[in-house]
Every structure is written in C-alpha cells, then in structure tokens.
Structure 1
Amino acid sequence: MASQSSLSTLRAVSYRISSTPTKQLPALIPHVTALLPACKQLLAAPQDAKAKDSSDAAAAGHKFRTQLSTMLQDRTVEGRWAAVVLVKCTVEVGGHEVLQKCAPWVRGLLSILGRPDPPTTRKLCMITLTRIFILTRDHPTLLREVTTPSLPTMIATCLKVFTAGSQSLSVQQNPVQRALLQTMLECFTQLLPRHPTIFRSYQSQLQQLLVQTIAPTPSSSSQHIPALPCPACEAARRLFVQMHCCAPKSTSTEEWESMLKAVVTSIHRTADKVFRAVIEDWESVAGISSSGHNTHGTLESDVHEPKPDAIGLPGWSGLFAGSERMIGLLRLLSQFIRTPTVAAVGVRIGLITDLLNRLLSLTIPSNTEEAVTQASLRFNNQIGREERENLFVALPQIHAATIEVLEVLVERFTDAVHSTLPGYLDQLVWIVKAENTSDIIRASVYHAAIQLVEILGSSMTKTSVDALSQMIQLACGDLLHDSQATGASLDQANGKRNGGHTTMDISLGTAAAPRPSTSLSSGPVLAAYSLLPVLLGRISAQQISVSLRTLMDRMAVLHRHKEALLASALNPPVKKGGTAASSILRLLATSFPESLEVEGMLRPRMPVTRTGFPVDGDMASDEDQAEAIEDRHPSFPPPDPVILPQNEASPESRSAGAIVAGGELPVVPLGDETMDDGSEEVQQATFSEPHSSKDIANASRSTKRSEPPAGGSPSSHKRTRRDISAQPPLSKGVATPTVPHTAAAAIPDVPIAETVSEILIAGAGTETTPEAVLPQQPSAGSSPRLQVDVAGDMDDDDDFEVPALTLGHDTSDDEDDGA
C-alpha cells in the first residue's frame, strides 16, 4: 500500500518537471533525482495493489511515466538529457514493476543513441540501456519482450559510430569516437557474457575494433595516430578476453586456450625484434621457437614488424613502437589470468613462466665497459649503439609489465607456482639492482616483493635474506628521502608560524607526523611504506642482520608506521648470544596510546576486576566450590606457630609477594592450624597501635563466627577465610607497601581485627583458647600495619578476597627460639 508521503512526493516531482522550462531542466535534475527514492513504495507497488489502494496513486504513476516518454522525444538537447537521467533513476528505484512498462523508454533511448547528440547524452543512453538489459536477465518474459529485440539494435547503433562512411572500423577518426569508445567497450563487457549468442553475429566487427585498441603503438613511424587513454585500452582488453564466449558452447574452452597461446606467441615474436641488439642466453622449455639466437643472418637496418601477428594486431615500426606492443600484450596476458571465465579452462602455467624467465633475464648493464665482459649479457655487433641504448631506455617499462604478470600469476595460482617463487625473488633483486634509478621499477619490485615475502617469509634462510639487503636498503632510502622532504616543508611552515625560529619536538607522543595518504606522494615511497611491515613481520628475526634490522626499525619510528612498529614489537630482534635485544614497544605505546592493538599487546591477559557489591548467590557459590575442593583434596597438617621479629621476613613471604618498605614492614604468617584435640589454634602476628572498643567488638563478632560447630569433627570444619586489606591512609612520611592499582581499587574498607590481643579479649568466652607470643608494640608513627581478620563465614557485602600468605611447614627449633 502506497503511503500518502510517497504520493505527495511523486506529485511534487511531476509538478516540478512540468512547470520548469526545458532549458532549466539540467539544473533541476539533481534535486528531482534525490526525491525519487522517497517514491519507491509507490513506483514498485504492483498494479493490483495500486488499484485497491486508490485511483490517485495509479494516476500519479501513469502521469509520471507519460512525462518521461514525452521528454525522451523532446526537440531540445536539454530535455532529452534530463529524460535519460530520470529514466535511469526510475528503473533503479521501481524494479520489476517499472521494467514491465519500460519498453517505450527503451525505444526512445535507442533513438537518442542514433542521434548526433553530445557524447555525454549518448554515454548516458548506453549506460541506461545496459542497466535495463542486466535487470531483465532474471525475468524470462521481460528478456523475451525487451532485451532480445532491443539489444541487437543497440550493438549495431554503437558500432555504426565507428564506421566513418566505409566498411572498416576505426577508433581515431574524430573526437566523438574517442569519447564514446571506453563507455561502449565497458557496456559490451557487461553484456557479452550474459548474451553471447546475440553478440556472435557481431564478433568479426568487434574483433576488427579491438585489435586497434588492446595494444596500440602511437610511436610507430608508419602510423600517425594519437595515443588512446589507458582506461579505454583496459576496457578493450577485458572485452577481448570475453570474446571466447561467442564461440559455440562446446568449443568456448578450446577457444580461450588457443587465444592465450596466441598472445604468448605474439609476445615472443615481438621480443625477437625488440631484443635483437643483445644475444640472449635464454632457452625455451615450453617448445617456443625463437629467432633471437640467430646472429649469423643479415638483419634489417630498422626494427619493425610489417605483418599482423598471431592475434591479428597490425604491424609496427621502430623500437619504441615494438616496446609499446610488448607492454600492451603483457597487460593483455595479465587480463587473461585475472578475468574469470564462464566454464573451467586449462592454463599452461609453464608457457607463462617460460615467458617470464626470458623477459626477466635481461637487465640494463651498469656501464658499457662492464657489459662487454659480462657473461650473461652479450651485444650483437650487427646492431648500432643507438638502438642498443634505446632498448635500455625501454626495458624498465617492459620489466614493469612483466612483474605485473608475475603478481597476477602468483595471486591466481599460488600453490602451483610456489616452488618457483624463490627464483623469481632473486630475479627481482637482480632487476632492482641494475635499474634502481627507475621509479616504476622500484615501485613494481616493492609490490611484487610484498606478495612473495608474505608467502616465503617464514621459510627464508639467512642467505636469501642477505640477498634482499640491497632492495631493503633502497626501500628505506626512499622512505628516508620522503621524510626529509616532508620535514623540510613542515620546518618552513613552523618557521613562518614561529617568526623564523624552527624547533624540533623529539617526543613521539606529540610529534604530528603526516599520514601516509598525504605525505607519501610517489609510487616507490607508497610501495616501500607497504613493504616495511611485511619485512619486519614475516621474516624471522634470526635471519636479519643487526644493521639491517636497525635501519628498518628507524624508518618505522621515523614515519610513525603503526603496522611496522607492531610487526617489529611482535618479532623482536635477537642479539648474537641469542638473547632478545631492546624492543621498540615503549615507542609504540607512546606513539599510539589510543590503539586497541597496542593495548592488547601491552596487557594481553589482564584479569577482569570486580566492582560494586556482589549478589547473594555469588558468595554462596564460592563457598560451595571451596568446600567441594577441600573435600577432594584433604588439607595437610598445619605448620607450627611462627612469630617473626620486627625487621625480619622469611624467604617464603618475600616470594609470595610481600613487599617491605625500608626493611621495617613485618611479614605476617597465616595458616589454618588444627590441634589434635579438635580445637582450632589461630596464629596472628601484627604490630599496631591500640584500637578503640568498636574495633574490639568487631573482632569479637568475627571470632565467634569462626568457631567450629558443636560436635563437629576438625576434618569437617570449613577452612578459615582470611582477608587482607590495606589500612586507611597513614600519616605523612610513612612508607607503604606497593600494591597493584587494579587490586587496591577493588579492596573495600571493612572493619577487621588488628591484633592478636584484641582477638583474645573478644573470644575469652569461647571454648578455644588461642596461644600466641606477642612482641612488644612499637611506638606511634612506626612502620605501617598489616591487618588480618580471621572469620569463618563472612557476612559483609564484599566479595573480593586477597589470598592468604601461608608459610611452609617449618618446625625448626631455632626459629621458635628466635621468635
């Protein structure tokens, strides 16, 4: 049932459209499209529901659809543009109910697509039609009524734009073609896997268009055409990979495999031409025949390829044009591996790795004289020095595209290529050593190293880690240069703000380091920033040298790299003796005090502290549990009474956590003592001042509660509960024992007995007569007091108990004499 608000909003939209002049509609469209989602309940409601609801809702919806159909046939460009936008929004909001009535809109959109309207309007028409065709895919009736008769018309109309009065298709005839190329290719990429039989009739025309786009060569001397934008080329490669869907159903897999092999073969043929200035030592293991080893034949003066290659790409001329063709084909190969297919296909990984080994085995020499003596790089004497130098200029771009193929291959087939990853990591280090002056090479190598180290980091040996040292130093150097540039700009800004006086704050907690997204502007720096935590976290600390680890830690601290600092703290360095070196955990905690990861690292198992008053059932359950444990494990005979002097503490008490301030705080032995005659002997030793009568009365009540039940045996008597708590604040200048703040905050103040004499006075009427040797009480203002309460069942509201400190069984006569 459509709500009144949806009806009112739709009426307001219709009124705004009808009352606004056509020339002003583009300015009104953003406001109208923002109101359409509020009309979803009305537009998406079924027709019968609208009729039952009211005739007003049906009339409002019909009026709005009629307005859009009229606007699609408007004579002005502004009216048609506004109609296309409103149709797209209405289809998204209305869903199936609107799709049932969108056939007139589809015909209007196709007519606008064939008009010489601005490219913006025609782009919107392609996008809207594509969206309608995708939404009707799940509805067979709409697919038969809307998509099947309209999609061929859309394909033919789009391809007609690129036919400039001849049978051949071209993408560089006029600016309109270049403006519509990317949008058309992206729309076809979405529609072709869903409707392959319809596109099969236009496969040859699409192939003719794509061969001009997937690997263009604007540097070719035989072709004077402007360079295509990279997004358009990427869209063409994605569509080319989907072309195998147009093959018959039983042969689509074979078509994909043959296309992949043709692409690899075309790259090898182009490399034979481009790499002819050097003599390669590469030998194919996948059965690829190469002419790069032929140095006896006569070579042509200019490197070129006059004939189309294996996949139908046109010829090229010039070494730079050949490198552009190789780069385009390598990116097409990456798209073949990255793009999912409709059916399962077989990938010849050996064919791809063989190509990678060939392209990565050739690097730029450090200098010409050294290159002549290198066994891995030999020059072809038939080729001049100019072409050889041009090859070394174009080689970093070729290597970057090759590394991209390696990244996609490892991402897709990690397990299948795992055994070859150490070799590729060595080749990357070799390349970055020879071509470290190229930013694109450093960025590509850093990105690939992140992926390889993530997989191989834990299994890398010290030799393999030492081989990475130069790459790691280059990455740290890029981070250092970026921090210096950022620091210089910040110093200049601070100098202007402070009147020309610049200061440096070395406190990590207050240093306002810029975020990576704003400070790391270049590609190599961003890649090195991402590589640093992987190196610190994945490689074993024992395999990294001290100097290299120190350098990485410095870069992490300098950039306030949170992930790198966390990785370094979790994988601390190791000294030569095998002991752990100083950690940067303190710097991490100072730099990121609000981080949950840092908090979890600092306090990984912090116990939960109870606060507030306990529930009645909590104490009962604790007592039952303690009684059950004592029944299962009978207590041993208690130790003999031990009374310690004022300035003496036993080793057992010190190991149990008793902290003596200034050597004057006495340690109190506590234990459950049961005599043979069944009476209970309580041993307490404390040093305190006299207390009030109220405290003595409290002690008397607690002592009475601690008596065993009449007629009960000693073994059935519950274990005496003893609570230790800190005394209220002492006078100034008196040392107090160190207590954890979490525990101290949870211990409440309860009235407790403080001396054995008070307990004796309070329990004089009981059957049990405690025996204790009491030392002399010190004067006021002496050492702090330790308060002990002996009680059987606690009736107070506190549930937090500190376990009693019990001395071991000791019956030495010497200690008794000393006491």
Structure 2
Amino acid sequence: MAATTTLRAITHRLTTTPVHELPQITSFLASSISDCGELFSTPPGQKGPKGDSDNAAQIQKLKTRLTSLSLDRTVEGRWTAVVLVKAAVEAGQWEFLRGCEPLVRNLISILGKPDPVSTRKMAVITLTRIFHLTYQYPTLVREITTPSLPSFITATLNLISIKPSAEPIRKLRSNTPFLDIVFPALIELVGRHPTIFRPFSAQIHSLVLAVIGGAPGSFPGHVVKLAERLFISLHNCAPKNTSGDEWKNAIKATIAATHRASDYVFRAVVEQWESADPALRQSTATQNYGQEVGDYASDALGLSSWHGLHAGAERLTGLLQLLSDFFSTPTASTVSVPLGLVLDLTARLTLVTIPSEGADTVGTQSNPQVGREERDALWAELPRIHTAVMGLLMRIVDLMQTSIVPVAQTILEQALWVFRSGKSNRAIRTAMYQLVQSLLPLIGPTMAKQNVSSLTNLFRACCSDILPPAEDANPSAASSADPKNKAKATQGTANADSFFHVDANKNRQSKLTSSFPELQLAATQLLPVILSFVPTEYLAPSLRAEIDRTIILVSDKPAMLASVLNPVPAIKGRGPGPSIIPFLARAHSAEMDVESLIRPRMPVLMSTPDLNGQVTIVEEEAEDEDGGEMDYAGVSATSGTTPTFITTTLKSQLSNMPSVAEQNSQSLAKRSLPQDTSVQSSALPQTTHVERNENVQTKKARHETEAPTFAAQTVVENTPSTSTTSVGTSRANQQPVATSAVTTNITTKPAVSMTAAAVPNAEDDSDDELPTLNIDSDTDDEDEDVNMEG
C-alpha cells in the first residue's frame, strides 16, 4: 500500500512541478522510484489484489512523462529524464526494459546536443546500464541493443574525437572531458557484443594508441590505464576463433616496442645482455649519438615518436604497464602466454643497474660515446623502470600461481639483481617485498640454504622498515659534546628553537612513521610469510632473533602467531630456541585465536560401537565410600545420568580386566615395600594412578633415589590392544602438580570413583572384589590405607 501511494505521489509531482524546478527534486524522486521496485517488476497480467490496474496505469503515466521530458527543449527537463530513466530501469528490470526502446533513442540523441557535460556523461552511464541489463535476455538484445548500439558507439566516439571525411581514422579531441566515461563504457560492452564493435575496431584502436603514446602529462594516469585496458579488449573483435591469436600478436608487438624503446633509453651503457630470440639480435636500432636521445619513427605498436630521456623512460614504463595489463584483463578465449619472451625482456631491464661508488657492476658498463649528463639522467630514471619491471613480474606470478614454479627461481634472481643496487629506493623495496611475498608460498618450502642466505639482506631491510625511526637526539647537545664545535658554540650560534625539541621530535617521529604507509604495509605483510614458508632451520639465529624482536616491538599478531607455530628447531649441542608466546598472550589476550592456541579446550574424542556414533543411554548409579553418587568426567553427581560414551568405554575396558585371583597372584610376585605405598600416597594426595596389565610389570621408583613423576590423568590400559582411555581427575581446589624437572599448571576434569558395584560382571557371592579407588587424601589418621598395586 505504501509503494502504491509513493508511485502515485511520484507521477503527481512530475506532472505538476514546473520543468525548471525539477532538478531540485530529482534525487528525491529517484530514491522514491527505487522504493517502488516491486511494483515496477510485477507483470501486468499477473493476478493480484485490487489496485493493480491502478498501479499499471501509474507506471504507464510515468513512462509517458519520462519520454516527453527526454524530448524537452529545456536542459532541466532532459537532465531529469536521464536520471529518472536510470532509476526506473534498475528498479523495474525486464518489465520496464521491454518498453524503453523510445527512451533509448531519445537518450542517444541527447549525446549529440550541446547539453552540459554532466547531462551527457549521465546519458552515457544510463545507456551503458541499459545495454548491460539487456544482455541476459536475448529478446531484448534483438529488440533494443542490436539496433541501438551502433548509434551509441558513433555518438560516444564523436564526444571524444573528430573523424575527417577524407581519412579512415579518427583524431582525438584536445582537452575532452569524456574520456574517463567513454572508455569504461566501451570496455564494458566490447566483450559482450564483439560483432557489433568489429566495424569500429580500427577507429577505437587509433584513439587508444594516441592516449597510450601521448606526451608525458598529456592525460591523467587513470585515463591512460583505461586506454590500455580498452586496447587489450579489442582482441574480442577478431573474427571467429582468432581472438587468441590476435591477443598473442598484440603482446608480441608490445614486447617488440619495449625492446625498441630500451635500445634508445639504455644507449648510455654497454649492455651485456644477449637475447635468446635471433630476431631480436638482428633488430637493434641504429643510434645517432650526435643528437638528443629519442625515437623519431613509429614502433611496432604504431605509437608516435618521442625525444628526451625522461620521455623515453615514460614510454618504457607505460609499455611495461601495458604488458602487466595483458595478464590482468579477461580474454574471450584461451590464450598462450609467451612467457619466455617476457622473461627475456625483464632480464635485459634488470641487468642494467646503478653502479656502485667507483666501479661498475656486472652488466653495467659505461658507453664512452655518451656524455656523463645523459648517463646520470639514466641513473635517476632507472628506479622507476625497475619498479615497473617488478610490478610486471608480480602480476605474472599472481596470475599463473603454481604454473610459474619452473621459472620462479629465475624471477627471484632477477629481482635480487635490482635489490642489491637499488635497495636505498623506497619504491623498489616496496615492490620487492610484494614480489617475494607472492613467491615464497610457491617455492619457499623447497628452497636450499644458499637461496635462503641470498635473501638475508632483504629480510633485515624488511625488519628495519617496519620499526619506527629512532628518536633524534638534541642537536644542540650533540654539537656541544663535539670538541670540534666548542669554538663555534662560544660564538653564540646556538639555535634557540632547539630548547623546545621534545615536542618537535615527537611530531617528527609520528610524521616519519606515517609518511610511507605502502612500504610499511608491504614489509609487515612479508614477515608472516617468511616465518611460515621459509625453512626455519636455514634462517641464521641472529636473523631469527631480529625478526622476533621486530614483531614483538610492533605487536604484529599474524607475525607473532607465525613465529609461535614455526619455532626455532633444536640444534645439536644447544637446546630449543625461546618462544614468544608470553609476548603474544600479553599483547593480544582478548583475541579468540590466541586464546585457543594458549588454552585449548578440545574435548577427548572417544570411539563408539555404532557406525553412526549413537548409543543407548544407560543410567547407572553407584555410591562411593561417602554414599555419594558416581561422577563420570565432569557429569553432575545429582543428575544420576552417566555419559554414554564413558559408560560404554568403561564396560568394554572393565570386561577385559584380569580376574581378582590373577591380580593377587601378580601382586605376590612383585616386590612390595611399605614405604613405596606411603611415599606414593603422600606425594599424590589428590591424583590416582591405576595401571592394569597382564604381561607388563612396572617397577616403581624408590623414594631414596629420585622423586617420582606422576601423570595428571588416570590411565586404564587394555591388555589385548594398545589403545588407552584417559579420564582426568582433580578436585575443585586442586593445586598444580610439581615434579623435579618441570612445574606445569594442568586443568583436569572432576575425579572418577570406581567401586565393585559399578562393574556389571562382578559376582555377589565372590569373596574377591575389585579394589576400591579412593582419591581422598591419606594423610589423616582415620583414613584407611589403600594398596594401589591392584
């Protein structure tokens, strides 16, 4: 009823409100239409309560009003129509879509009118949404999408480009604001309707290449990324069963263009790299060292020329980003990845590294034909190139997962080449941490000791990046302590602001800690992976201590859990390493996983005779010496109900016990000493230890030599089999059991008292009875001595 009233109010306000005032209430009307989604999606012929005919009339009235507003002469009316059509389409789905073909034609015509940018952007979004929703309905695709989509593509391309009549390709408009709206719309639709897009493929191709190969700073970064995704998606427009080949040709052309750009960017050094592909060895570009570095011809992709080392680095990083997008954009069919060509390219780019002070590193030799200025400019641009290379490698590893294992060690070695020379750069360290985090779960458990040792510097750098910077000392105090500065200090050059250094240092420390969140996040996520997947025995003790110290200082729970679950193994001649469980419990005592690790509460699992795990509940009552009821494994003594699994197990165990006569004969064969009984009863006032075995005799420890160690649970052994049943025994105020070696706090279950009355096979007329197990203290004079030897 409320929805019906809301629908009636919407149509009333649309028809009575002046057109120039509609934009003020458009948002309210759109949200109200969303609330009426049930009415919009109800078929008109479906039987329902009274008033359905009125609802159908109101919906038809709303459609008529929206159609008239989409053709309105005012900007306000067309804006209102665009917004409300989108709201109605999403609320009504198929029922509203099947009659919106006139609205689609009107919205496409709005794209060609000189309306505000917001109106035309909203029209593109609304039409894209309509075409998206019709994709799952073949009838609607045939009636709406197929006849309207070509006009929509032409209209959107006209928003961002100009097509001269004499040329087959389009030219991009300068400073157009529609690129970030048109490119996502085309990416959304080209994979669903490749046949319709096929005649426009060449025009779209020329536009995206103009964006990808544009001058640095010509287009925003997100627009360039959208252009790269659209360029990759164009392989869907290939003829039938050739989209995979088209994708492979595109990635090969991108690799060739990257090699061509590298020929010019790296001309300041003599490369030691040699390609495995003979075609690339012979296609080295000729260099003219007399002019500025640059490529003055088009490359394999058809990108425009560039000049200047900075422009070349931008072109190189852009092509590497395009290669990364090849491995993240969905394809229409199965494709074959030229992984060898990609790794050949990354090997070339990672071999060129910044030389150390006074010497050249392996793979980096200066070219005497190039000046020092260009070489220094190359060292400044090299970290960006290496960061893009590691981003490409990380994207490949994330995509291929276990399929990358055969070449994973090669990828790791290439990354280590870069890390050794560029570890001072924060972007390189961040990319390196992310790449190693992806590789260790795949190859970490199978790494050799030498491979783990090669990562030691990386692991130490990771620890230092997690810790906050040390607090700076007082600069004035440091200068006064230096004898060389005493003369300067007497000249009155002290800094007066340094007297207020306390708050300044605190602010500086907090600022430095939060300046590089990506680096700190990558390092923090890497430490648990190191502890979980790297063989612990191959980590140097000093390195493991540094890792544990770091995670304790920052209280990182995932890393602390990984350290606890992967302890330092015991080494010959040295005991096991210390555990950080106390620090974990102190820092994260309220966490559920920490609680379950420190104090597990898993119950004892016992087998049952039935396959389905169900047994008949048997109620048995037995009284002990004090006349109380039996209490099995924590069951309340007042309930009188014995747990089924304990009752069944005790019956099976007691039925297999030897007879009393056999037990007496065994006890005579043993050496019985009075002091043994007294020592045992005094040392264990609240814990009973009963052993029953026909073939094995246990020799008791003598109290003169060493103190006995008692178990915290009562063990009943079955002679024919090796299975044992453990039932914990304790009292409410039981103290921890102390031994000569270790003091352990054990929480056990309530005691179990077994008498002869509880044994179903005992005979009433027999003089031999099973001994009574008494767990009370034997220190009082009135208590009877109990012989525990059975």
Scaled by the length of structure 2, the TM-score of the pair is 0.76
- Structure 1 match to 2:218: 227
Amino acid in structure 2 at the alignment position of 1:329: L
Question: Where does residue 437 of structure 1 map in the other structure?
Answer: 424
Q: 1:246 corresponds to which letter in structure 2?
A: C
The answer to whether the 8 Å contact 2:198/2:237 transfers is: yes
Residue 195 of structure 2 corresponds to residue 189 of structure 1: no
Aligned to 1:470, the other structure's residue is in SS state helix
CA shift for structure 1 position 390: 1.0
Relative contact order, CA 8 A, sep 6+: which one is greater?
1
Residue 540 of structure 1, aligned match among 532, 535, 544: 535
| 2:125 paired residue among 103, 107, 127 | 127
Aligned residue for 1:564? 559
Cα displacement string for residues 612-643 of structure 1 (whole angstroms, at most 9, x for unaligned residues): 57876645774454333333454551465979
Residue 320 of structure 2 aligns with an amino acid whose one-letter code is L
How far did 1:267 drift? 0.6
Distance verdict in 2 for CA 1:574–1:172, change over 3 Å: farther
Secondary structure of the residue that 2:334 maps to in structure 1?
coil
Distance 2:787 2:115 in 1: 94
Question: Secondary structure in 1 aligned to 2:354?
Answer: coil
Residues of 2 paired with 1:785 and 1:88: CA distance? 92
2:567–2:577: 8 Å Cα contact kept in structure 1?
A: yes
Give the aligned partner of residue 315 of structure 1.
305
Residue in 2 that maps onto 1:399 = 386
State the partner residue of 2:156.
Answer: 158
> 1:555 maps to which residue?
550
2: CA distance, partners of 1:68 / 1:586:
69
Partner Cα distance (2:252, 2:119) in 1: 40
Residue 110 of structure 2 is matched in structure 1 by 112
Q: CA deviation at 1:152?
A: 0.6
State how far apart, in whole Å, the 2-side matches of 1:415 and 1:158 are.
42
Paired position in structure 2 for 1:628: 652
Return closer, same or farther for 1:397/1:406 CA change in 2, 3 Å cut-off.
same
Decide which structure has the larger Cα Rg and report it. Answer: 1
**Whole-Å separation in 2 of the counterparts to 1:445 and 1:428:** 7
* Residue in 2 that maps onto 1:34: 31
2:295 aligns to what?
Answer: 305
Q: Give the conservation status (yes or no) of the 8 Å contact 2:211–2:224.
A: yes
Report if the CA contact (8 A) 1:727-1:786 is conserved.
Answer: no
Q: Partner of 1:378: helix, strand, or coil?
A: strand
- Give the conservation status (yes or no) of the 8 Å contact 1:91–1:132: yes
Offset at 1:739? 11
- In structure 2, do the counterparts of structure 1 residues 583 and 729 end up closer, same or farther at CA, with 3 Å as the change threshold? closer
When residues 459 and 281 of structure 1 are mapped into structure 2, their CA distance, relative to the original with a 3 A threshold, is: same
Distance 2:561 2:255 in 1: 43
- Greater alpha carbon shift after TM alignment, 113-122 vs 306-315: 113-122
1:588 aligns with 2:584: yes
1:251 matched to 2:242: yes
Where do 1:369-768 residues align within 5 Å?
369-371=358-360, 374-481=361-468, 521-574=516-569, 576-577=571-572, 579-604=575-600, 606-607=602-603, 610=634, 612=636, 618=642, 622-635=646-659, 636-638=662-664, 640=667, 648-650=678-680, 660=684, 726=731, 743=748
Please report how far the alpha carbon of residue 531 of structure 1 lies from its aligned counterpart in structure 2 after TM superposition: 1.0
The one-letter code matched in structure 2 to 1:319 is L
Match of 1:353 among 331, 334, 343: 343
* TM value normalised by structure 1: 0.73
Render the CA deviation track for 1:643-678: whole Å, top value 9, x for unaligned.
96799413xx6xxxx855xxxx598887999xxxxx
Q: Per-residue deviation at 1:555?
A: 1.8
Distance 1:154 1:64 in 2: 25
Structure 2 equivalent of residue 173 of structure 1: 174
Are 1:277 and 2:268 matched, yes or no?
yes
Paired residues of 2:191 and 2:233 also in contact (CA < 8 A): yes
Whole-angstrom CA distance in 1 between matches of 2:309 and 2:333: 39
Q: Secondary structure at the match of 2:542?
A: helix
Distance 1:317 1:189 in 2: 31
AA of the residue aligned to 1:280: E
Deviation (angstroms), 1:576: 4.6
Matched-pair contact (CA < 8 Å) for 1:37–1:93: yes
**Cα RMSD, aligned residues only:** 4.0
In 2, distance between residues paired with 1:254 and 1:152? 26
- Alpha-carbon distance between aligned partners in 1 of 2:434 and 2:75, rounded to the nearest angstrom: 48
CA distance in 1 between partners of 2:284 and 2:555 (Å): 52
CA contact (8 A) 2:273 2:363 kept: no
* Match status 1:6 vs 2:3: yes
Q: 1:102 to 1:766 in 2, by over 3 A?
A: same
SS in structure 2 opposite 1:212?
Answer: helix
| Residue 321 of structure 1: how far off its partner (Å) | 0.9
Say if 1:209 and 1:26 are closer, same or farther in 2 by CA, change over 3 A: same
Shift of residue 454 of structure 1?
A: 1.9
Measure the CA separation in 2 of the matches of 1:788 and 1:739. Answer: 30
Q: Distance in 2 between matches of 1:408 and 1:126?
A: 32
SS in 2 for 1:213: helix
- Is contact 1:723–1:788 with CA below 8 Å preserved after alignment? no
> Which of these residues, 227, 230, 240, is aligned with residue 231 of structure 2?
240
Aligned counterparts of 1:631 and 1:429: Cα–Cα separation in 2: 68
Deviation at 1:329, TM superposition (A): 1.0
Q: Which residue of 2 aligns with 1:815?
A: none
CA contact under 8 A between 1:443 and 1:524: conserved in structure 2?
A: yes
**Aligned partner of 2:257 among 249, 261, 266:** 266
State the shift of 1:475 in Å.
Answer: 1.7
Tell me which amino acid in the other structure corresponds to 2:663. P
Q: Could you list the per-position Cα deviations for residues 194-219 of structure 1 after superposition, in whole angstroms to 9, with x for gaps in the alignment?
A: 1111111111211110111224332x
1:251 deviates by 2.5
Q: For 2:242, what is the secondary structure of its paired residue?
A: helix
Distance 1:784 1:330, change over 3 A: farther
Distance in 2, Cα, partners of 1:637 & 1:457: 57
Q: State how far apart, in whole Å, the 2-side matches of 1:771 and 1:184 are.
A: 90
* Counterparts of 1:393 and 1:318, CA distance in 2: 14
Q: Matched residues in 2 for 1:339 and 1:573: separation?
A: 43
Distance 2:691 2:430 in 1: 69
* Cα distance in 2 between the residues matched to 1:305 and 1:198: 36
Partner of 1:759: none
Amino acid at match of 1:567: A
Deviations 1:217-274 (A, max 9, x none): 32xxxxxxx4311111111111111111212113322222211111111111111111
Equivalent in the alignment of 1:91: 89
Residue by residue over 1:443-476, the C-alpha shift from the partner in whole angstroms, topping out at 9 and shown as x without a partner, is 1111111111221211222222221121122222
For 1:180-202, what per-residue CA distance to the aligned partner results, in whole angstroms no more than 9, with x for missing partners?
Answer: 10211111011111111111111
> Does the 8 A contact of 1:136 with 1:143 survive in 2?
yes
Aligned to 1:807: 788
The CA distance in 1 between the partners of 2:99 and 2:781, in whole Å, is 90
Give the secondary structure class of the aligned counterpart of 1:206.
Answer: helix
Q: Alpha carbons of 1:113 and 1:359: their partners in 2 closer, same or farther (altered >3 Å)?
A: same
2:557 maps to a residue whose letter is K
Gaps of 5+ in 2: 473-499, 504-508, 605-632, 694-726, 736-742, 756-763, 772-776
The structure-2 alpha-carbon separation of the partners of 1:434 and 1:92, relative to structure 1 and needing over 3 Å to count, comes to same
SS of residue matched to 2:210: coil
1:570 Cα deviation from its structure 2 partner: 0.8
* 3-state secondary structure, aligned to 1:289: helix
